[in-house]
Structure 1
Amino acid sequence: MTGERDRLLADAVRLREDGRREEAKERLLALCERFPLDAEVAYQTAWVHDTLGLEAEAVPHYVRAVEGSGLSPDDRRGALLGLGSTYRVLGRYPEAVTTLGDAAAGFPDDAALKTFLAMALYNTGRARDAMEILLTLLAATSQDPDIAGYRPAIEHYAKDLDATM
């Protein structure tokens, strides 16, 4: 059964990657019926719904994926980012902040999680916290020589935008 499941899942993912998302969605929904506790199937099903602009329909699949077991660390990170981002798109900002904040704590080196967390924080009126995250991220990751030259100042102001040097 596992070999068949793996083949069917790989076929559905390939369809999504080839732009045949509706067909992929139908196959993944059928797999969800056969394997309702399978976190990887749930994650792929959520992902295809997201690519189709069906965010509300993606949420229960993302939830099942992150609450289940069996995802690789990279897929878990992707599922958490997808869930948090989807909550944000749906206007469910507090849930987005919680999901993305927990994910960023669990994957502290992931710049994408921090970026989406900053957007969700902004949506909840926490612009100062959002700016701190983004400025810290910019200072740490920018290869632009003009930014790099000001890294100490940017890191200083990231902690307190109202501070003076």
Structure 2
Amino acid sequence: MTRDEDMTGHRDRRLAEAVRLREAGLREEAREQLLALCEQFPLDAEVAYQTAWVHDTLGLEAEAVPHYVRAVENPGGLTPDDRRGALLGLGSTYRVLGRYPEAVTTLRDSVAEFPDDAALKTFLAMALYNTGRTHDAMEILLTLLATTSQDPDIAGYRPAIEHYAKDLDTIL
């Protein structure tokens, strides 16, 4: 076994343990382990993502941001599902911190990258609302409602909802 293989195995075991701790509700312990992993693997996107996530779960959103940024700036460093989660986490965290323009930009770019992701669109709508772009926010939410609802009453009005989603100000 080479030194790199040994380091990778060590990293994988420690990362899995930190995730297990977070999932078990031992978030502070997970945070300590993840911060140590960040020091050892500063360019590792998966470690950065997990570190951001645990900070978010602890209500330490400002501390989560640089970890999210590091995670998403590493092309190919995350699986598509983890990348989507990291982008959603970053955009949502910007919004919670009142950094609305950054939230809109991050979430808009994320929706372009993952156009079928309803959660990204929902968080984008919230960020648009926070920037005063209520028309754009309502368009996204009404379109999502019309296209994803299983409620038969909503489905029966899908064409009308989709029409009004484009322009709620239409008067006939």
Mark yes or no: TM-score above 0.5: yes
**Residue 129 of structure 2 aligns to a residue in which SS?**
helix
TM-score normalised over the length of structure 2:
0.95
Partner residue of 2:82? 75
CA distance in 1, matches of 2:148, 2:86: 24
Name the amino acid aligned to 2:99.
R
Partner residue of 2:32? 26
Q: Could you give the per-residue CA deviations for residues 59-112 of structure 1, whole angstroms, max 9, x where no partner exists?
A: 000000000131000000000000000000000000000000000110000000
| Residue 58, structure 1, aligned to residue 81, structure 2 | no
CA distance in 2, matches of 1:164, 1:108: 30
Name the amino acid aligned to 1:39.
A
Gaps of 5+ in 1: none
**Residue 71 of structure 1 aligns to a residue in which SS?**
coil
CA distance in 2, matches of 1:36, 1:68: 11
Runs of 4 or more off by more than 6 Å in structure 1? none
**Residue 70 of structure 2 aligns to a residue in which SS?**
helix
Partner residue of 1:118? 125
Tell me the matched-pair count: 165
How do 1:10-25 residues align onto structure 2 when only pairs under 5 Å count?
Answer: 10-25=16-31
Over aligned residues, Cα RMSD in angstroms? 0.7
Q: Could you give the per-residue CA deviations for residues 10-63 of structure 1, whole angstroms, max 9, x where no partner exists?
A: 000000000000000000000000000000000000000000000000000000
Q: Could you give the per-residue CA deviations for residues 100-145 of structure 1, whole angstroms, max 9, x where no partner exists?
A: 0000110000000000000000000000000000000000000001
How do 1:86-125 residues align onto structure 2 when only pairs under 5 Å count?
Answer: 86-125=93-132
TM-score normalised over the length of structure 1:
0.99
Shift of the alpha carbon at 1:163? 1.6
State, as a whole percentage, how many aligned pairs show the same letter: 87
